[in-house]
Structure 1
Amino acid sequence: MNRCLIIDDELPARQLIETYLEALPDFEVVKMFDNALDGFVYLQNNTVDLLFLDIQMPRMTGLELLKSLQKHPKVILTTAFREYAAEGFDLDVFDYLVKPISQERFLKAISKYLYFREITQQNVLDVSTFEDAYIFLKVNKEQKKVYLNEILYIEGLKDYIKVFTTQGRFVVYERLRYMEAKLPESKFVRLHKSYIVAIDKISAFSSELVKVQEYEIPVGRIYKQSFLNKISAGI
């Protein structure tokens, strides 16, 4: 069952999304809020799979909510303002629906979400066999086998990623969030909107910068606290 949370200050908007979800199997609305602050409190003690989030709300915007969370579920933004799309995707939102939201466009977002869940579930890794774990990545016209323990870090560039490994650098046609879902959380950390780093390859770090071999990688503001907590827990 996919647990869904709806945060929107407009009652008709909340009801519309709820109606769309009620028509789908394996989806349930566990809670709805008319403001982001109540949503923030709820997410501190509860987990959901999918968050439908408005942007323009009084007291606290949807984007401010995302920036305040150390880790957030998959997010579909629902807003009447197209101009926030770029900032939303910088915060790694899953999709961006512009009001009024048609059922066709809503179902397209759900289909995209379900496909993402399917491919990530098919690639769940057994961390106990991490030394032997590998992934096939499309490099040029062939699928290249890359061992996870050889990955140094991954840089995201819109629809492409650069995978830096002990065996060289590869350019792959894939999104960074796809890679984040496939990699074991105990071995890799997201420390910037554009970077994922192998924890055991970090040679030095501060609150602003991480060193991996000769590379220096910035720590993003919204990822800083979760990164420091994760690193400290492993020390």
Structure 2
Amino acid sequence: MRCIIIDDEPLALELLEDNIKYVDGLQLVASCRSAAQAMQAMHEQQIDLVFCDIQMPGITGLQLVKSMVQKPLIIFITAYNQFAVDGFELDVVDYLLKPVPLERFLKACSKAQTIFDQQRRLANDIAGKNRDHIFVYADYNLVRLSHHEITHIEGLKDYVKLYREGQPKPLLSRMTIKALEEQLPADRFYRTHKSFIVNLDHVQSIRKGRIKIGSAEIPYSDNYRDVIGRMTGKAV
């Protein structure tokens, strides 16, 4: 899960950053000192889990969560227990009181992971990811593509390029890379960069920030380094 933490106290941010290091499967994307910074981070990339303080200058944690249209999983971490009812009315994963023991923090993360996995399985079923193909619009046609023939995908703002095995030119389709990623099986297609998705079946080698597929070399960024570990079963 890709997560951010939000707290106006630097010490609290440091403690949370240290705790997250103990949680397998969590990737810290951003540490934010305000709701405004958090909103910017969530606008720029996919966030699955938010650790959020409540009492902050300006927009409070409660106000921030209430304003979210598409809400990630939320764990409130605060020094005040009087907001617990408000927090759970927002359907948050957990409500932790500072100072948070590591054991309690890990329990909350485990609960979030369980919910996240359930949501993904449901989303996969709804999206029909159990099928072996997708349909995309390209050149004014609805084109059927098998999962296997797609080698990698490049995102270009509101368009994607779909590269296919044995085809010199990619298909260009008007959609976001995020929307396409949601239609593909997560056990085969991996986001390795904000602009690239690779099909594990076609990966030949990985070296020095580059993934080789045929004659193409696809970058992977530090923000997605944990993805390479999940994809290969090896630390990179």
TM-score normalised to structure 1 length: 0.55
Q: In terms of mean alpha carbon deviation, does 221-230 or 147-156 score higher?
A: 221-230
Letter in 1 for 2:218: I
Q: Aligned Cα RMSD in Å?
A: 4.3
What are structure 1's unaligned runs of at least 5 residues? 12-33, 49-63, 69-76, 111-115, 127-131
Structure 2: distance between partners of 1:43 and 1:124? 34
Q: Is the 8 A contact 1:137 1:143 kept in 2?
A: yes
Match of 1:147 in 2: 146
Match of 2:157 in 1: 158
Structure 1: distance between partners of 2:133 and 2:219? 26
Provide closer, same or farther for how the CA distance between residues 106 and 133 of structure 1 changes in structure 2, counting only shifts above 3 A: same
Count the aligned residue pairs.
173
Q: 2:126 aligns with which of 112, 116, 122?
A: 122
Structure 2: distance between partners of 1:174 and 1:146? 15
Match of 2:114 in 1: none
The correspondence of residues 35-46 of structure 1 with structure 2, limited to 5 A, is 35=13, 37-38=15-16, 41=19, 45=23
What are structure 2's unaligned runs of at least 5 residues? 49-57, 72-118
Q: Is the 8 A contact 2:190 2:227 kept in 1?
A: no
State the shift of 1:141 in Å: 3.1
| 1:65 matched to 2:28 | yes
Larger radius of gyration: 2
Structure 2: distance between partners of 1:227 and 1:90? 21
Letter in 1 for 2:127: N
Deviation by residue 1:81-120 (Cα, 9 ceiling, x = unmatched): 59x83x65444348xxxx64879x825345xxxxx98875
Provide closer, same or farther for how the CA distance between residues 222 and 42 of structure 1 changes in structure 2, counting only shifts above 3 A: closer
The correspondence of residues 1-235 of structure 1 with structure 2, limited to 5 A, is 7-9=5-7, 35=13, 37-38=15-16, 41=19, 45=23, 65-66=28-29, 79-81=35-37, 85=40, 89-93=43-47, 100=59, 106=67, 108-110=69-71, 121-126=125-130, 133-166=132-165, 167=167, 168-232=169-233
Determine what percentage of the aligned residue pairs are the same residue.
22
Letter in 2 for 1:159: D
Provide closer, same or farther for how the CA distance between residues 160 and 66 of structure 1 changes in structure 2, counting only shifts above 3 A: same
Letter in 2 for 1:108: V
Q: Is the 8 A contact 1:155 1:163 kept in 2?
A: yes
Q: Is the 8 A contact 1:135 1:147 kept in 2?
A: yes
State the shift of 1:186 in Å: 2.1
State the shift of 1:230 in Å: 2.3
